Amino acid sequence: MNALAIEEKEFRAILEELSRPLPESVIRQRVGWIDSEGEHWIDYIEWQTAAEILDRVCTNWSYEVRDVTVINDLVAVTAAITIKGVTRCGVGVGSATDETGIKRAETDALRRAAVKFGLARSLYYRGDAKRRIRAVSDSESPATEKQLAAIYAIAKAKSLDVQLESHALFREEPEKLTRSRASELIDHLRNVRVRA
């Protein structure tokens, strides 16, 4: 077996290990959103738990903050995790008015990047059928004001035509995107390399 095949096999083993269901003892809950039906709780893991699992499963992983953008009273942080030469990014948003919001944005970005390697992804599928249906309908609901603010701020900072980028990806105006598509557009805009 050549070195590349060995690396690929090791990487697949890491992804498989990171994708395993988590013990209940590390899963936390918080209010995810409030609507006319009341509070909706979501499952999550703390950033320290994500870092500990990454340390255990793949000792040579790395993490970096790639971008910090302040949009009015919000801060958007893009973080990247690299495992075996593969890099995946996540975006977190928090309040720019205090240190707690900025820390939350960074820790959310770290967790979201880790999810892209499979870590804690099973939490998105937990719960009863009603909750899963609700999660799907939420991803199909319109983009939030925070998402739209992030889209326009990132595009402006990078001198990108947001309408053109949105139409190229989804053939829709940003205001007509669903939450999930708005998240994809944010990730896309964050990853566009701007020539100097």
Whether residue 109 is found in the same domain as residue 148: no
The answer to whether 102 and 131 are in contact (CB under 8 A) is no
Mean pLDDT, the chain, integer: 85
Q: Does one domain contain both 117 and 153?
A: no
Q: Give pLDDT, residue 143.
A: 85
- Return the CATH number at 20: 3.30.390.80
Structure confidence by residue, pLDDT tens digits, 61-85? 999 999 999 988 999 999 999 999 9
- Which among 126, 156, 181 is the end of a domain? 126
Kind plus residue range of the DSSP H or E element containing 98: none
Distances (CA, A) of 45 to 26, 89, 107, 115, 134: 6, 18, 10, 11, 21
| β-strand partners of 74 | 71, 95
Number of domains in the chain: 2
C-alpha 177/C-alpha 148 separation (Å) is 9
| Residue at 105 is within a domain | yes
Residue 145 has what pLDDT?
85
pTM: 0.63
**Residue 131 covered by a domain:** no
pLDDT by position in tens, the chain (length 196): 687 787 888 999 999 999 998 988 999 888 877 777 778 788 889 999 999 999 999 999 999 999 999 988 999 999 999 999 999 999 999 899 988 989 999 999 999 999 999 999 888 765 433 344 454 455 578 888 888 888 988 988 888 888 888 888 888 888 888 888 888 889 888 888 766 5
> Could you tell me where the DSSP H helices lie in the chain?
3-18, 47-57, 99-115, 129-139, 145-157, 162-170, 179-191
Has residue 136 been placed in a domain? no
Distance CA 120, CA 21 (A): 7
Q: 161 and 122 in one domain?
A: no
Q: Classify residue 54 by burial, with Cβ atoms within 10 Å: 0-12, 13-18, 19+.
A: buried
Integer Cα distance of 162 and 143 in angstroms = 15
Q: Name the residue with tokens 């990171």.
A: 18
Q: What b/e string do you get for 57-66 counting C-beta neighbours within 10 Å, with b at 16 or more?
A: bbeebebeeb
* pLDDT tens-digit series, residues 86-104: 999 999 998 999 889 899 9
Residues 110 and 36 in one domain: yes
Domain end position, chosen among 77, 99, 126: 126
Q: Which domain holds residue 192?
A: 142-196
Same domain flag for 29 and 106 = yes
